[in-house]
Amino acid sequence: MASVGRRRASPRPSGRPLVVRGLTAAVLAGAFVAQTAGALLPDVPLLLAATAVSLTVEGVLSRWQPVMSSLLAKCHADITVRHVLRDLLLVVGLLRLGEHDREPQFAWPVAGLLVFYALHCAVQAVSVLVRRTRTLPVLTRNIDASALRLSPAPAALLRRPGHRLLLLGLPTTAGLATAAVTGDPLPAAAGTAVSVVLAAAGLGALLVRLLPSRRPAGEQEVLDWFDAWLDDYRPTVGLYFSGGASSAYQANMWLETMSRLDGRPVVVLRERFMVARIAATDLPVVCLPKVSTLMRLEHSTLRVLIHPSNSGKTSQVLRIPTIKHAFVNHGESDKLSSCNPYAKAYDEVWVAGPEARERYARAGVGVEDKDVVEIGRPQLDAVRPWSGPPADDARTTVLYAPTWEGWDGNPGNTSVVAAGENLVRALLADPGVRLLYKPHPLTGSVEPTAGAADRRIRELIRAANRERPAGASGPAGSASELDRLTAELDRLAAELDRLTAAGVREGADQMERMLAQSAPPPGRAEAVAKATAAWEEAYWASLPQDEHQVVTDVRPALYSCFNNADLLISDVSSVISDFLAGGKPYAVANTSGMSEDAFRAAFPTAAAATVLTPDASGVPALLETVRHPEKDGLADARAELKLRLLGPDEPTSRERCDTALRALSTAALNHRACGEEQAEARHPRSQRLAEDLLPAPRHASDAGTGADAEASRSVTPPSRPAPPG
């Protein structure tokens, strides 16, 4: 129980943000207290100074402190309440200044103030209505949705009540403050008038969007359009994904594979925010947030859904009887997540090689061996085979790619905390090493100690680079060549950014993104692949040969790092299995507290690895085996382990994946046909009556020619080796 409490507490922010937020709240509260004192005394300088400080803090909250703004709102002290209080105190101060019969002089400014706040509430109400008309039941990417009368989003100022009130209310606040100094009600009246006009203009701009001619398509119209698109595109295989904001990489790693599969692929998402997080692709993307909309896939030509992860919403799509489901995972390792009991909910589990099949058998989680299909890892086509040790005059490039701490709090998950700094120091101590440090993007998201260790490792690398000799050579030994390569890299980066850009302005809502990201231009996918390869080549060529690198950006990708490394040091994770595709030496950090023999027995992916202890004492000997292959006693073990983890090289993984897809598609068609026959047998009269009265349902089995007929032919099922002895 203590460990559970510790894991729940760990995501809390560190002390510094809390201090900043507390200080911001204290300054804001103090400003209101001072403004109250200035209004009641009355004291004009104090009133104006406190008002200025209060407005400054509001700007800070709006720009840099969204969390604090949310906390204040939960305490019923949101920006509307604060703005009303600020203006009210200014009015009180004005009324207390000078003679006691000044109330009639400020009647118009006060009336204008009330009208402004009434308009603010009206703008917010209409803004909500406009947002609802722009919230479609289906979101898409790479699909022409012009028939839905999509339009750009309203100005961001009209959609954000806090920003709107702060900016549109500034003329009123400025007018009241000026009146407090001059004693003249005219500035107050003018300021409130400007605010009223601006608010009325915003209200009018929003009301126009509610006119029938300006509204986008309604819910039923969108659903009818989606059904028509399904009929026209006739998808056969889909990538189904649901998850949190930080999990998009799990789907992204399968996009290229999906684009190469036989059939007509589609990406099916469930969370609206995920549409923008899916990487650049030419595949059609549909987001179906509601279960009722998701169920419309039952009557489509979709036969197989591929699942790279488990989620709570996966159970919803598994209810569709006309679709077969294959779990492919987003990576394979010896972790418990690679033999999750939930996998038995799928029709098939597609794994890389025999080791994964045996892993499920050993785990005894209910996945039957007949449902496990070995397809290899199609993504690993990008990993180049080992070409031998580094040249005598070249540095040994070591990739340290630790995994993250995981959700279970097991200290053996990541080596960053217990061994990371020792490993990095040992590598940096060798003058012939160039280090590439690529931490997992979720490092530190659960355990703050992991995040702190990651920051210390980065500082060690930066310090080592600062201590490089003054005459350290660039990529080609000359400053001019370095400048040329850097310029070329910048040009390629700009080209790649242009090709992969979302093409939407800042502040665009989901409908505007859907409008901007319609059908992609022909050949974009090929252009992106070509530009990415050119960028990666230029990137590695532009780096100084003796400079260590911290790789955290999207580019270069992990597999590009594989191709430029001579050695991998990692933890028990899918990184190991993927790296073995190149046949290069690798090491695994043992921070579990087990003996080496027990560690190898518990984690089969470490069978061909050099096992490093947390003190990193084995690093020098490891580097020696990399530089002198005759001392490498694990080469044969790596080749054997590669076969066990990833399967044979022939047929290729892509061919095996296509074969598995065709077999499962055929099973889906047969299941659908069997269901229709059973329905006819149970209710023949009702079935015939329905056929006479209703339009024919959209079934893939209705068509016997073209691509559907080709996909429904008999195919040889993928190889399913016998279960282990």
pLDDT one-digit tens code per residue, 430-443: 999 999 999 998 89
Least confident of 151-155, 411-415, 473-477, 583-587: 473-477
Please provide the average confidence, as pLDDT, over all residues in the chain.
Answer: 87
**Are 377 and 643 in contact, with CB atoms under 8 Å apart?**
no
**Per-residue confidence (pLDDT) for residue 475, from 0 to 100:** 56
Tell me the mean pLDDT in the region 577-589. Answer: 95
Q: What confidence category does residue 18 fall into, taking pLDDT thresholds of 50, 70 and 90?
A: confident
CA–CA separation, 379 and 354 (whole Å): 18
**Are 577 and 588 in contact, with CB atoms under 8 Å apart?**
no
CA–CA separation, 687 and 289 (whole Å): 32
Percentage, residues of the chain above pLDDT 70: 88
Residue type present at position 651: P
Quote the DSSP letter at residue 322: T
Q: What confidence category does residue 101 fall into, taking pLDDT thresholds of 50, 70 and 90?
A: low
Q: Whose structure tokens read 């703004």?
A: 69
Phi-psi region of 406 (alpha: psi -120 to 50; beta: other; left: phi over 0): left
CA–CA separation, 411 and 422 (whole Å): 16
**Bridging pattern class, strands 285-287 and 139-141:** antiparallel
pLDDT greater at residue 410 or residue 153: 153
Task: Centre a 10 Å sphere on the Cβ of residue 543 and count the other Cβ atoms it contains.
Answer: 18
Burial of 550 (C-beta count, 10 Å sphere; 0-12/13-18/19+): middle
CA–CA separation, 60 and 69 (whole Å): 10
CA–CA separation, 123 and 204 (whole Å): 9
Quote the DSSP letter at residue 559: H
pLDDT greater than 70 at residue 717:
no
pLDDT greater at residue 589 or residue 185: 589
Tell me the mean pLDDT in the region 398-408. Answer: 90
| CA distance readout (Å), 603 to 157, 188, 330, 375, 573 | 55, 75, 19, 22, 10
- Asked if omega into 42 is within 30° of 0 (cis), the reply is yes
**Per-residue confidence (pLDDT) for residue 485, from 0 to 100:** 84
pTM of the model: 0.80
Question: Token pair for residue 694?
Answer: 């209703």
Burial of 618 (C-beta count, 10 Å sphere; 0-12/13-18/19+): middle
Task: Centre a 10 Å sphere on the Cβ of residue 223 and count the other Cβ atoms it contains.
Answer: 17
**Are 654 and 254 in contact, with CB atoms under 8 Å apart?**
no
pLDDT greater than 90 at residue 147:
yes
Terminal Cα distance for the chain, rounded: 40
Burial of 630 (C-beta count, 10 Å sphere; 0-12/13-18/19+): exposed
- Asked if omega into 521 is within 30° of 0 (cis), the reply is no
CA–CA separation, 255 and 709 (whole Å): 26
DSSP assignment of 244-289 equals: -GGGHHHHHTTHHHHHHSSS-EEEEE--TTHHHHSPS-SS-EEE--
**Per-residue confidence (pLDDT) for residue 4, from 0 to 100:** 33
CA–CA separation, 691 and 696 (whole Å): 7
**Are 403 and 413 in contact, with CB atoms under 8 Å apart?**
yes
Using DSSP, state whether 238 is helix, strand or coil: strand
Alpha helix ranges (H) inside 381-447: 421-428
**Per-residue confidence (pLDDT) for residue 347, from 0 to 100:** 96
Tell me the mean pLDDT in the region 82-92. Answer: 91
DSSP assignment of 587-606 equals: EEE--SS--HHHHHHH-GGG
605 CB contacts (<8 Å, ≥6 apart)? 333, 334, 355, 572, 576, 577, 588, 641, 645
680 CB contacts (<8 Å, ≥6 apart)? 687
Quote the DSSP letter at residue 416: I
Question: Token pair for residue 185?
Answer: 């009600």
pLDDT greater than 70 at residue 680:
no
CA–CA separation, 306 and 658 (whole Å): 12
Using DSSP, state whether 325 is helix, strand or coil: strand
**CA dihedral (245, 249, 250, 256) positive or negative:** positive
Q: What confidence category does residue 677 fall into, taking pLDDT thresholds of 50, 70 and 90?
A: low
**Per-residue confidence (pLDDT) for residue 525, from 0 to 100:** 84
Question: Token pair for residue 553?
Answer: 């950006």
**Per-residue confidence (pLDDT) for residue 15, from 0 to 100:** 56
DSSP E strand stretches across 131-219:
139-141
pLDDT greater than 80 at residue 368:
yes
pLDDT greater than 70 at residue 489:
yes
| CA distance readout (Å), 660 to 195, 378, 665 | 65, 12, 8
Q: Whose structure tokens read 């053996």?
A: 412
**Are 35 and 89 in contact, with CB atoms under 8 Å apart?**
yes
Quote the DSSP letter at residue 342: G
Each residue of 567-579: pLDDT tens digit?
Answer: 999 999 989 999 9
